[in-house]
Amino acid sequence: MSYLSTQLIRWHKQFGRKDLPWQIDTNPYKVWISEVMLQQTQVQTVIPYFLKFIKRYPDIDSLANSNENEVLSYWSGLGYYSRGRNLLKTAKIIQEEFDSSMPSCSEKLESFPGIGKSTAGAILSLGFKMKAPILDGNAKRVLVRYFKVEDPIDLNKTTKQLWNIAEENLPNKECNVYTQAIMDVGSLICKRRNPDCIECPLKKKCISFNEKIQNLLPNKSPKKEKPIRQLYWLLLQNKHGEVLLENRNSKGVWEGLWTFIGFEEPISRENFQDRLPKGYELLEEGLKLRHTFTHYKLDIDTTLIKINKDFQDLDNNKVWFNTEELSGIGLPSPVSKILKTFI
3-state per-residue secondary structure call for the chain = CCHHHHHHHHHHHHHCCCCCHHHCCCCHHHHHHHHHHHCCCCHHHHHHHHHHHHHHCCCHHHHHCCCHHHHHHCCCCCCCCHHHHHHHHHHHHHHHHCCCCCCCCHHHHHCCCCCCHHHHHHHHHHHCCCCCCCCCHHHHHHHHHHCCCCCCCCCHHHHHHHHHHHHHCCCCCCHHHHHHHHHHHHHHHCCCCCCCHHHCCCCCCCHHHHCCCHHHCCCCCCCCCCCEEEEEEEEEECCCCCEEEEECCCCCCCCCCEECEEECCHHHHHHHHHCCCCCCEEEEEEEEEEEECCCCEEEEEEEEEECCCCCCCCCCCEEEECHHHHCCCCCCHHHHHHHHHHC
Residue number, 192 or 239, with CB nearest to ligand SF4 = 192
Q: If binding is defined by CB under 6 A, does position 88 make contact with ligand SF4?
A: no
Q: If binding is defined by CB under 6 A, does position 162 make contact with ligand SF4?
A: no
Q: If binding is defined by CB under 6 A, does position 128 make contact with ligand SF4?
A: no
Q: Which of residues 190-209 bind ligand SF4 (CB under 6 A)?
A: 190, 195, 197, 200, 202-203, 206, 208-209
Residue number, 145 or 269, with CB nearest to ligand SF4 = 145
Number of residues near ligand SF4 (by CB under 6 A): 14
In the bound complex, what is the minimum distance in angstroms from residue 197's beta carbon to ligand SF4? 3
In the bound complex, what is the minimum distance in angstroms from residue 135's beta carbon to ligand SF4? 15
In the bound complex, what is the minimum distance in angstroms from residue 5's beta carbon to ligand SF4? 13
Q: Using an 8 Å Cβ cutoff, are 197 and 209 in contact?
A: yes
Contact letters for ligand SF4, residues 171-190 (x by CB under 6 A) = ------------------xx
Q: If binding is defined by CB under 6 A, does position 145 make contact with ligand SF4?
A: yes
Report the Cα–Cα distance between both ends of the chain, in Å, rounded: 59
Decide if 264 is catalytic: no
Residue number, 220 or 251, with CB nearest to ligand SF4 = 220
Contacts of 332 (CB under 8 A, 6+ apart): 76, 81, 254, 257, 259, 291
In the bound complex, what is the minimum distance in angstroms from residue 141's beta carbon to ligand SF4? 7
In the bound complex, what is the minimum distance in angstroms from residue 202's beta carbon to ligand SF4? 4
In the bound complex, what is the minimum distance in angstroms from residue 205's beta carbon to ligand SF4? 9
Residue in 36, 142, 166, 235 binding ligand SF4, rule: CB under 6 A? 142
Residue number, 118 or 214, with CB nearest to ligand SF4 = 214
Q: Which of residues 210-249 bind ligand SF4 (CB under 6 A)?
A: 214
Residue number, 33 or 197, with CB nearest to ligand SF4 = 197
Largest CA distance in the chain: 77
Residue number, 75 or 209, with CB nearest to ligand SF4 = 209
Interface residue list for ligand SF4 (CB under 6 A): 142, 145-146, 189-190, 195, 197, 200, 202-203, 206, 208-209, 214
Q: Annotated active-site positions, please?
A: 35
